[in-house]
Amino acid sequence: MFPRIKIWLLTLATVVCLPVLAEAHAILEESQPPLGGTVKAGAVDLHLRFNSRIDRGRSRLTLIRPDHTRDTVSIAPDGPPDIIDAHVNLTPGAYVVRWQVLAVDGHITRGDVPIIVAAP
């Protein structure tokens, strides 16, 4: 009788947890600068916070410059597991910060944060 209850509980737990796991891929919850935000030229801190933990080593930040050239931006190696931090030096113009992250559920998500860099 006892093992049967255990199996039943395990099954129930699986059924309850699956939808939660399926939703666990990373969604951008907060970004600094914000989407469409304006910052002053010079040293700019990029700060992206997600709804779940991400695998920093398998995540990527790409900076698309006003002339459409692209650079991979190195992600700061430490900090909370749901946050990506990076530091860039920017001249005035319209940029896009393109993020691609791997969440703990194994799903990759990506998105763009357009920002405007104004003369200091």
Residues that bind Cu ion (CB under 5 A): 25, 105, 107
* Cβ proximity to Cu ion, 75 vs 102, nearer residue: 102
CB of 29 to Cu ion, least distance (A): 15
Q: Do 84 and 72 touch, CB atoms closer than 8 A?
A: no
* Cβ proximity to Cu ion, 50 vs 95, nearer residue: 50
* Cβ proximity to Cu ion, 34 vs 106, nearer residue: 106
CB of 10 to Cu ion, least distance (A): 22
Token pair 């900076």 is found at 63
Q: Do 46 and 28 touch, CB atoms closer than 8 A?
A: no
* Cβ proximity to Cu ion, 82 vs 105, nearer residue: 105
Bridge partners for 60 per DSSP: 100
CB of 23 to Cu ion, least distance (A): 7
CB of 105 to Cu ion, least distance (A): 4
- Residue 33, preceding bond cis, omega within 30 degrees? yes
Cα–Cα distance for residue pair 60/75, rounded to 1 Å: 7
